[in-house]
Amino acid sequence: METKIGKEELLDEACSIIKQGGLVVFPTETVYGLGADAFNEEAVRSIFIAKERPQDNPLIVHLARLEDVEKIAVDVPPLFYALYEKYCPGPLTVILKKSKNIPYVVTAGRETVGVRFPSHPIARALIEGSSPIAAPSANLAKHVSPTLAIHAYEDLKGRVPLVLDGGECQVGIESTIIDLTGKTPTVLRPGAITLEELKEICGAENYKGELGVALAPGMKYKHYSPKCKCVMKDATELGNEYAEALKKGFNPVIIATEKTIKRLGDLRSLSLGESGLDAAKFFYLRLHQAEEEYDYIIIERMPETGVYYSVMNRAKKSAAD
């Protein structure tokens, strides 16, 4: 299969492909997505084949209009609407009870469904011009999520007909996932919307500030892995690890915050910028650059608060053996 890559000029064609049961790679503010019509079982099945994704890993349904939530979910609680008000469209996925309209292939057999309202204008136009879209990230299973169209293209060329290029993703890590189907609202995956922020809004909504954090599900699969060796070290150990790697004949690179890089002098390095939001935006981009040019990646261990906590969640999986 030939894979087309282009910008808005391919939008109409992309909408037709979705409506006919095909796959489209599209930009969102978090990472690029690999989408199909969420109501078309066969189309959704082909997402799993294209990215070699395990059948038991569910997808997220992407919507453009609030009223469509009732087509895909039932018993939607008030807290959903409070979260929608505050964060949507934006990098938040909410787990709700699924409606019968959504095929089980989307939810990997679960009675719950993940719902997200992306803010990227091309994502919104694609959904508005076709259908609610089920999508995971547009990378091969286990590989690093794409934040540039070219990264999705490199993983999926020959497997999908069309890649929509919407520029670099501004958030850069996957959405924060909050599950509202249990007793206590629970964060399943941290993202640019932080635990601290969610705690506040859950408290304001009379949940007594209670917010569960269950990060185990994301740990089930090897994830976000570059193609070469990748380790994580404290800022003070980076220079030593680098020297050791050189001695063993590797071509190492350090991925670290701007502040740390300034202290490292002229070791080869790639910057994660000056804030947690910068680190999120650049994290996958730097992993892609690093695996292209080097063969030994050393990631700086960052503080586990705010958005850095969410970046560390990805970094630990990238550096896991």
Enumerate binding residues for Mg ion (CB under 5 A): 136-137
**CB closer to Mg ion out of 132 and 136:** 136
Residues 6+ apart with CB under 8 A from 262: none
- Decide the pairing of beta strands 133-135 and 60-62: antiparallel
Q: Is residue 218 near ligand AMP by the rule CB under 6 A?
A: yes
- Residue showing tokens 């079982």: 41
Structural Rg of the chain based on CA atoms:
20
H and E: helices and strands count for the chain: 12, 16
Q: Is residue 155 near ligand AMP by the rule CB under 6 A?
A: no
Amino acid at 78: P
**CB closer to Mg ion out of 136 and 191:** 136
CA distance 244 to 76: 54
- What's the length of the chain? 321
What mask, x for binding ligand AMP by CB under 6 A, covers residues 115 to 144? ---------------------xx-------
| CA separation, residue 26 to residues 72, 161, 167, 313 (Å) | 21, 12, 10, 24
Binding-site partner at residue 217 among Mg ion, ligand AMP, none, CB < 5 to 8 Å by type: ligand AMP
**CB closer to Mg ion out of 175 and 271:** 175
Asked whether the beta carbons of 123 and 62 are under 8 A apart, the reply is yes
Least distance (Å) between residue 251 CB and ligand AMP: 30
Least distance (Å) between residue 145 CB and Mg ion: 5
Asked whether the beta carbons of 287 and 318 are under 8 A apart, the reply is yes
Instruction: Point out which span in 104-112, 149-157, 243-251, 266-274 binds ligand AMP (CB under 6 A).
Output: 104-112
Least distance (Å) between residue 312 CB and ligand AMP: 17
Exposure class string for 147-166: b at 16+ Cβ within 10 A, else e: bbbebbbebbeebbebbbbb
Least distance (Å) between residue 184 CB and Mg ion: 26
- Decide the pairing of beta strands 269-271 and 229-233: unpaired
Look at residue 272 and give its three-state secondary structure.
Answer: coil
Instruction: Point out which span in 109-117, 152-160, 165-173, 195-203 binds ligand AMP (CB under 6 A).
Output: 109-117
Least distance (Å) between residue 306 CB and ligand AMP: 21
Q: Is residue 107 near ligand AMP by the rule CB under 6 A?
A: yes
**CB closer to ligand AMP out of 171 and 188:** 188
Of positions 35, 90, 91, 114, contacts ligand AMP by CB under 6 A: 114
**CB closer to Mg ion out of 130 and 137:** 137
Q: Is residue 306 near ligand AMP by the rule CB under 6 A?
A: no
Q: Is residue 29 near ligand AMP by the rule CB under 6 A?
A: no
Residues 6+ apart with CB under 8 A from 167: 27, 149
What mask, x for binding ligand AMP by CB under 6 A, covers residues 249 to 278? ------------------------------
**CB closer to Mg ion out of 170 and 275:** 170
Task: Give the number of other Cβ atoms within 10 Å of residue 313's Cβ.
Answer: 20
CA distance 266 to 176: 36
- 34-73 residues near ligand AMP, rule: CB under 6 A: 57-60
Asked whether the beta carbons of 26 and 35 are under 8 A apart, the reply is yes
Residues that bind ligand AMP in the complex, under the rule CB under 6 A: 57-60, 95, 107, 110, 112-114, 136-137, 174, 177, 188-189, 217-218
